């Protein structure tokens, strides 16, 4: 029997965001043909520790927790790590990002929105005070710079500076010509995505989900954890 995949997202109060994550987990069930359970680190139930407690202890690997998060940080290195530490039969995978395939989705969203390829792009992440999460976001921005014709900045929907709105304002203040676009580096609709639309940018792209590349990344994280 294959190990159970526990998809662990952040959680949101937005109905559309909740459904987006559930649709993603449903797509994983279909594409990987395995048992998938949903869990969250904040806002929503069931919480990750509750889900792990509901899995029977087994010899070998009973389950793999795949963080449905775009960067590592407190939720990955503390919340998920603590949830699995007393369960040798449950493994924790890495966060989804940074990964070049995520940047491919970002670029696809920019193209879909009609953003000129020399525009200033603000890569808009959720935000975290954890320096490991910020480092992952910086790595994602570097990946985008390799394929984008204009300047690339980072902005955060919450937490650290600069905010997305400040990053947009700074781009205009420093004379970066023409268009400023905000590229959503969020998984699903919700409060943070709404803040991007209030940033004053000329363009705002949609979140990353749904996208087939997310299924590939989640599958890779699951199998990589099994092989450790």
Tens of pLDDT, residue by residue over 180-213, are: 999 999 999 999 999 999 999 999 999 999 999 9
Domain around 26 = 4-97+210-226
Confidence of residue 143 (pLDDT cuts 50, 70, 90): very high
Closest of 104, 124, 123 to residue 212, by C-alpha = 104
Q: What are phi and psi of 182, to 5 degrees?
A: -100, 120
Q: Is the pTM of this model over 0.85?
A: yes
Beta bridge partners of 203: 181
- In a shared domain, residues 91 and 118: no
- Count of domains in the chain? 2
The least confident of 1-10, 141-150, 188-197 is 1-10
CATH number at residue 164: 3.40.50.1400
The per-residue pLDDT for 178 is: 79
- In a shared domain, residues 76 and 144: no
Percent of the chain residues topping a pLDDT of 90: 94
Confidence of residue 59 (pLDDT cuts 50, 70, 90): confident
Q: Is pLDDT at 129 greater than 60 in this prediction?
A: yes
- In a shared domain, residues 57 and 125: no
Classify strands 180-185 and 120-125 as parallel, antiparallel or unpaired.
parallel
Q: In the block, which residue shows the tokens 């491919």?
A: 104
- In a shared domain, residues 123 and 193: yes
- In a shared domain, residues 93 and 104: no
Q: Which residue has the higher pLDDT, 207 or 175?
A: 207
The per-residue pLDDT for 57 is: 92
- In a shared domain, residues 107 and 196: yes
CA distance 22 to 25: 5
The per-residue pLDDT for 134 is: 97
Stretch (H or E) spanning 155: strand 152-156
- In a shared domain, residues 80 and 56: yes
pLDDT, mean of residues 30-34 = 97
Q: Which residue has the higher pLDDT, 174 or 45?
A: 45
**Could you write out the DSSP letters of every residue in 3-70?**
PEEEEEE---S-HHHHHHHHHHHHHHHHHH-S-EEEEESSSSSSBHHHHHHTSPP-SS--EEEEE--S
Closest of 42, 5, 4, 37 to residue 22, by C-alpha = 37
Q: What is the mean pLDDT of the chain?
A: 96
The per-residue pLDDT for 150 is: 93
- In a shared domain, residues 67 and 82: yes
Using CB atoms within 10 Å of the CB of residue 184, give its burial: 0 to 12 exposed, 13 to 18 middle, 19+ buried: buried
């Amino acid at each position: 029997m294959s190990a159970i995949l526990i998809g662990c997202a952040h959680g949101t109060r937005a109905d559309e965001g909740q459904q987006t994550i559930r649709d993603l987990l449903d797509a994983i069930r279909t594409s990987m043909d395995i048992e998938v359970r949903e869990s969250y680190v904040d806002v929503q139930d069931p919480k990750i520790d509750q889900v792990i407690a509901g899995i029977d202890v087994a010899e070998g690997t009973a389950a793999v927790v795949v963080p449905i998060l775009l960067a590592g940080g407190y939720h990955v290195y503390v919340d998920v790590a603590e949830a699995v530490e007393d369960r040798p039969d449950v493994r924790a995978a890495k966060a989804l990002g940074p990964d070049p395939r995520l940047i491919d989705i970002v670029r696809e969203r920019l193209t879909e929105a009609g953003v000129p390829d020399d525009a200033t792009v603000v890569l808009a992440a959720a935000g975290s005070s954890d320096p490991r999460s910020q480092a992952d976001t910086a790595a994602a921005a570097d990946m985008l710079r390799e394929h984008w014709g204009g300047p690339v900045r980072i902005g955060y929907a919450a937490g650290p500076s600069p905010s997305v709105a400040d990053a947009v304002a700074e781009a205009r203040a420093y004379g970066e010509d023409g268009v400023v676009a905000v590229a959503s580096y969020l998984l699903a609709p919700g409060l943070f995505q709404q803040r991007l639309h209030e940033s004053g940018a000329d363009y705002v792209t949609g979140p990353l989900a749904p996208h087939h590349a997310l299924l590939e990344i989640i599958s890779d994280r699951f199998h990589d954890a099994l092989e450790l």
